[in-house]
């Protein structure tokens, strides 16, 4: 019996998205990154900033939410590929007639969305615990930008995931990258408080710009980068496009490299 076979990138993307979601929910550990960790981040932020005024509380919430989202995105980029190596599914997946880039992209999106849920949990927890209403300036824009930050995170995750296909030391890179990014992108502290030499690095990362735009949209009287909200958006889109272009070109080379080295089964 002949079967009509027409590989397509969207099919691969949605197949990966669906499988990632099923695997995520099948592992009871999902409760920790998706709910428990954000609640802890939320309470920590609340305790630290509750006496400092509503704006600072909101600032802290955003940081905690970003940490949750970034952690999950990086997890999606790195651990999914490591898991494929560990399970021995990297070879059959790469032997399918679809670019692995789309498979990874699906996984990153699932993990980033779970991170988004985590970020919203943080927001909900602190909103309920804080006795005063939080001064969210433009709620609609806030939600849109929240999702946009997620896309910028995914673009960085996509580039990093190429490295994870290349090497089996994804866990090490994950752990190193997670905390470095919290600091560099301004999730934890405003970038302006960091040493001057970190600024160029921060500006190379799309989430830095997107996060600043998000703060402009949500915090009353926020003073971030001098180019303002629109400049932030332009910077975020531009850097994100650079990352997506890099991911597209790097992936083909990485796939060729792993087929040359022959280390797909190592983990």
Partner 1 sequence: MAVPAISVEQLTRVYSSRKGFLFNEVTRTEALRGVDLEVAPGELFGLLGPNGAGKTTLAKILSTLLLPTSGRAHVLGLDVVREANRIRPRIGLVLGGERGLYYRVSGRENLRYFADLYGIARSEREPRITEMLERVGLGDSGDRRVEEYSRGMKQKLHLARGLLHAPELLFLDEPTIGLDPKSARETRKFVRALLAEGVTIFLTTHYMFEAEELCQRIAVLSKGKIVATDTVPGLRRLVGGDRTFEIDGYGFEDSELARVRALPGVSRLVTEEFGPRLRITLRVQDPQLELDRVAQCLLGHPELEVRERRTALEDIYLDLVEEEPA
Nearer to partner 1, 100 or 148 (CB): 100
In the complex with partner 1, which residue's Cβ is closer, 23 or 40?
23
Sign, CA torsion 242/244/246/249: negative
Cα–Cα nearest to 248, from 184, 182, 172, 155: 155
Distance CA 85, CA 77 (A): 13
Q: In the stretch 74-113, what mask flags binding to partner 1 with x, by CB under 8 A? A: -------------xxx-xxxxxxxx----x----------
Neighbours of 204 (CB within 10 A): 13
| Site size with partner 1, rule: CB under 8 A | 36
Q: Which of 5, 193, 196, 221 binds partner 1 (CB under 8 A)?
A: 5
- 64-84 burial code (b ≥16 CB/10 A, e <16): bbbbbbbbbbbbbbbbbbbbb
Check the CA dihedral 42-44-45-47 and report its sign. positive
Interface positions, 16-35, toward partner 1 (CB under 8 A) = 16, 18-19, 22-23, 26-27
Q: Which of 155, 153, 181, 185 is nearest to 247 (CA)?
A: 155
Q: Compare residues 80 and 121 and give the one whose CB is closer to partner 1.
A: 80
| Interaction of residue 252 with partner 1, rule CB under 8 A | no
| 190-249 residues near partner 1, rule: CB under 8 A | none
Q: Are 41 and 69 in contact (CB under 8 A)?
A: no
CB of 83 to partner 1, least distance (A): 9
Tell me how far, at minimum, the Cβ of 1 lies from partner 1, in Å. Answer: 6
Q: How far is the CB of 256 from partner 1 (least distance, A)?
A: 7
3-state secondary structure of 10: helix
Residues near partner 1, by CB under 8 A: 1-8, 11-12, 14-16, 18-19, 22-23, 26-27, 87-89, 91-98, 103, 256, 259-260, 262, 264
């Amino acid at each position: 019996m002949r079967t009509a076979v027409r590989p397509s990138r969207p099919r691969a993307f949605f197949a990966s998205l669906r499988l990632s979601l099923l695997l995520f929910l099948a592992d009871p550990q999902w409760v920790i990154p998706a709910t428990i960790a954000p609640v802890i981040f939320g309470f920590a932020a609340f305790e630290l900033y509750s006496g400092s005024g509503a704006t600072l509380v909101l600032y802290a919430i955003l940081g905690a939410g970003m940490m949750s989202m970034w952690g999950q995105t990086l997890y999606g980029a790195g651990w999914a590929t490591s898991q494929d190596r560990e399970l021995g599914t990297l070879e059959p997946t790469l032997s399918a007639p679809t670019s692995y880039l789309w498979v990874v992209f699906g996984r990153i999106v699932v993990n980033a969305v779970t991170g988004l849920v985590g970020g919203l949990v943080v927001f909900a927890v602190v909103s309920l615990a804080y006795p005063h209403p939080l001064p969210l300036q433009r709620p609609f824009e806030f939600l849109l930008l929240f999702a946009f930050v997620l896309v910028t995170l995914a673009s960085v995750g996509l580039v990093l995931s190429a490295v994870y296909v290349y090497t089996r030391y994804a866990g090490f890179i994950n752990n190193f990258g997670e905390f470095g990014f919290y600091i560099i992108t301004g999730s934890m502290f405003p970038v302006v408080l960091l040493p001057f030499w970190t600024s160029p690095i921060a500006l190379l990362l799309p989430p830095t710009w997107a996060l600043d735009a998000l703060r402009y949209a949500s915090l009353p009287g926020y003073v971030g980068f001098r180019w303002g909200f629109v400049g932030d958006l332009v910077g975020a889109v531009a850097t994100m496009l650079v990352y997506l272009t890099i991911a597209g070109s790097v992936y083909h080379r990485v796939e060729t490299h792993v087929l040359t080295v022959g280390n797909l089964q190592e983990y």
